[in-house]
């Protein structure tokens, strides 16, 4: 294909994240130039339904006038200031206060950063700082889960349990370990119920803590619903049983709400949907509908009090980013939270999610759809070679990737994760738009299935 000048610049100079670098010149960039509601538009003027809210972020779509105006007003008033050494700004003070009100468990304070990775990196540092502060310097190990996704900084990538984030990066770092992924469809024993599977995973966690030494295990981190690992909804009773183990050994519970936060699972936080009582909670993405980079870390009163006492001794809490509490990001995030309320986004999700989940489950009637899973407005379908045995397709066939390509040809952006394909549309999607989204996915599946034996 003939390349535009823009494409040539991109190919020539842009080192892309999460991209097959060797193939970029051949594949070329999908140059997105504009957003409009649930749609994004490329340089040829082709319009796509963004079935993934881009990277699970843009809950209010790509052109919400109130968020745009909040950003403009903030840029005109105070485009930048910092929050070190007792400095603050009106928007960040109000945002912190609002997040404490919304929190799914009692939280004392909110720390701000710019990305999910930084929020989780900060959570790790807080966990270590806290245990030093309470005189337990040996209690530093953090357990996360295989296929969990927590970001890509050196420490957050170590928490992440996906091979591509470790391989050839010399990760994970020390003191971070991984336990089993709670994907019932893939990892349950034949005939094992969800509850029994959850019991087995909680027992395995307890064995792991005992093997590591309870005095060395500081925290456990989990996404309420795993996102990038394949949209894995926890089996019944999972978090209840996991948290019972954590409490027994005084291991902190960290909820990574970077995807689940702000309505995605049907409640304000995934922690509410799944009965999680976090000591530390991280969020990002839909905090600003993705319009500006901002993330947050909430800490419980117990954790905060020890941190405050310790920083009083040292003279400072020696952690913070130049852009922690950025006033423009804070203003847009604050407005995002107001829009969730004013437009009754949670009520909208309650009304639409049964239809969304019903449409996903409907794909189980197709020959090669082995599992359809999800909750609220997030879901996935997984393709298998044999539905009875759950035998996967040969990975070399790249079926998930091909399905995503066919969907793109049909004007729908979805995300392939192995042979699963995820949907996580903007929460503002209407019923009619949702019908159109599924019609496009239907056609993409028809095309793919026509190529299968
Ligand atoms: N945690 C979760 C659950 C995520 O899904 C992501 C990103 O997708 C992150 C953390 C990392 O966020 P970021 O890419 O903003 O660093």
Closest ligand 1 atom to Cα of 227: 5
CB-based contacts of 400: which residues, under 8 Å, 6+ apart?
383, 416, 417, 418, 419, 420, 421
Distance 386 CA to ligand 1 centre (A): 33
Instruction: For ligand 1, atom 13, name the residue with the nearest CA.
Output: 116
Instruction: For ligand 1, atom 1, name the residue with the nearest CA.
Output: 150
Distance 116 CA to ligand 1 centre (A): 4
Summary mean pLDDT of the chain = 97
Question: What are the sequence ranges of the domains in the chain?
Answer: 31-63+344-450, 68-342
Q: What percent of the chain has a predicted confidence (pLDDT) above 90?
A: 99
Distance 159 CA to ligand 1 centre (A): 11
Q: Classify residue 324 as exposed, middle or buried by CB count within 10 Å of its CB (0-12, 13-18, 19+).
A: buried
Per residue in 425-437, pLDDT tens? 999 999 999 999 9
Distance 104 CA to ligand 1 centre (A): 20
| Secondary structure of residue 377 in the 3-state scheme | coil
Closest ligand 1 atom to Cα of 151: 11
Distance 189 CA to ligand 1 centre (A): 30
- Parallel, antiparallel or unpaired: strands 39-42 and 47-50: antiparallel
Distance 53 CA to ligand 1 centre (A): 14
Closest ligand 1 atom to Cα of 260: 3
Which among 259, 283, 294 is the best mutation to test ligand 1's pocket, defined by most ligand atoms within 8 Å of the CB?
Answer: 259
Asked whether 50 and 62 are in contact (CB, 8 A), the reply is: yes
Instruction: For ligand 1, atom 3, name the residue with the nearest CA.
Output: 258
Per residue in 177-225, pLDDT tens? 999 999 999 999 999 999 999 999 999 999 999 999 999 999 999 999 9
Across 185-206, b (16+ Cβ under 10 Å) vs e yields: eebbeeeeebebbbbbbbeebb
pLDDT at residue 1 in the model? 63
Q: Rounded to an integer, what distance in angstroms lies between the CA atom of residue 271 and that of residue 256? A: 9
Distance 192 CA to ligand 1 centre (A): 32
The CATH number assigned to the domain with range 68-342 reads 3.40.640.10
Q: Please state which architecture CATH assigns to domain 31-63+344-450.
A: Alpha-Beta Complex (3.90)
Asked whether 266 and 198 are in contact (CB, 8 A), the reply is: no
Per residue in 281-337, pLDDT tens? 999 999 999 999 999 999 999 999 999 999 999 999 999 999 999 999 999 999 999
ipTM of the complex: 0.99
Q: Rounded to an integer, what distance in angstroms lies between the CA atom of residue 101 and that of residue 436? A: 37
Closest ligand 1 atom to Cα of 153: 16
Pocket of ligand 1 (CB under 6 A): 55-56, 115-117, 120, 149-151, 223, 227-228, 256, 258-259, 284
Closest ligand 1 atom to Cα of 55: 8
Distance 103 CA to ligand 1 centre (A): 19
Which among 147, 149, 221 is the best mutation to test ligand 1's pocket, defined by most ligand atoms within 8 Å of the CB?
Answer: 149
* DSSP letters spanning 233-294: PPPTTHHHHHHHHHHHTT-EEEEE-TTTTTTTTSSSSHHHHHT---SEEEE-GGGTTTSS--
Q: Check whether 453 has a pLDDT greater than 80.
A: no
Distance 121 CA to ligand 1 centre (A): 11
Which helix (H) or strand (E) segment holds residue 35: the answer is strand 32-36
Neighbouring C-alpha atoms within 13 Å toward the C-beta of 150: 36
Q: Check whether 2 has a pLDDT greater than 90.
A: no
């Amino acid at each position: 294909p003939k390349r535009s000048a823009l494409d040539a610049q991109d190919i020539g100079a842009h080192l892309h994240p999460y991209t097959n670098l060797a193939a970029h010149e051949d594949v070329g960039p999908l140059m997105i130039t504009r957003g409009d509601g649930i749609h994004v538009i490329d340089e040829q003027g082709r319009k796509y339904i963004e079935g993934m809210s881009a990277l699970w972020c843009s809950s209010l779509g790509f052109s919400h006038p109130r968020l745009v105006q909040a950003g403009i007003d903030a840029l005109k008033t105070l485009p930048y200031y910092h929050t070190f050494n007792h400095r603050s700004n009106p928007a960040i003070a109000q945002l912190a206060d609002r997040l404490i009100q919304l929190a799914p468990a009692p939280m004392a304070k909110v720390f701000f950063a710019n990305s999910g990775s930084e929020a989780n990196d900060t959570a790790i540092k807080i966990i270590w700082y806290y245990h030093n502060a309470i005189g337990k310097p040996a209690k530093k190990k953090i357990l996360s889960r295989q296929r969990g996704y927590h970001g890509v900084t050196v420490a957050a990538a170590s928490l992440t349990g996906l091979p591509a984030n470790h391989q050839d990066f010399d990760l994970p770092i020390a003191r971070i370990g991984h336990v089993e992924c709670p994907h019932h469809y893939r990892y349950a024993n034949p005939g094992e119920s969800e509850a029994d599977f959850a019991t087995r995973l909680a027992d395995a966690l307890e064995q792991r803590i005992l093997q590591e030494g309870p005095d060395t295990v500081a925290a456990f981190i989990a996404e309420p619903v795993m996102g990038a690992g394949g949209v894995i909804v926890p089996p019944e009773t999972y978090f209840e049983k996991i948290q019972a183990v954590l409490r027994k050994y005084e291991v902190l519970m960290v909820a990574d709400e970077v995807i689940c936060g702000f309505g995605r699972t049907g409640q304000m936080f995934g922690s509410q949907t799944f009965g999680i009582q976090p000591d530390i909670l991280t969020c990002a993405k839909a905090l600003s509908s993705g319009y500006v980079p901002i993330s947050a870390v909430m800490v419980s009163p117990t954790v905060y009090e020890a941190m405050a006492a310790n920083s009083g001794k040292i003279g400072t809490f020696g952690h913070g980013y130049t852009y922690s509490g950025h006033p423009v990001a804070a203003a847009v995030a604050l407005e995002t939270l107001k829009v969730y309320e004013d437009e009754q986004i949670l009520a909208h999700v309650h009304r639409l999610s049964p239809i969304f989940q019903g449409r996903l489950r409907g794909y189980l009637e197709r020959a090669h759809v082995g599992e359809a899973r999800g909750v609220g407005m997030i879901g996935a379908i997984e393709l298998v070679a044999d539905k009875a045995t759950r035998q996967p397709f040969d990975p070399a066939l790249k079926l998930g990737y091909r399905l995503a390509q066919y969907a793109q040809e049909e004007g729908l952006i979805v995300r392939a994760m192995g042979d699963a394909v995820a949907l996580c549309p903007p929460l503002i999607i209407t019923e009619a738009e949702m019908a159109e989204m599924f019609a496009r996915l239907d056609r993409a599946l028809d095309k793919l299935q026509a190529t299968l034996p």
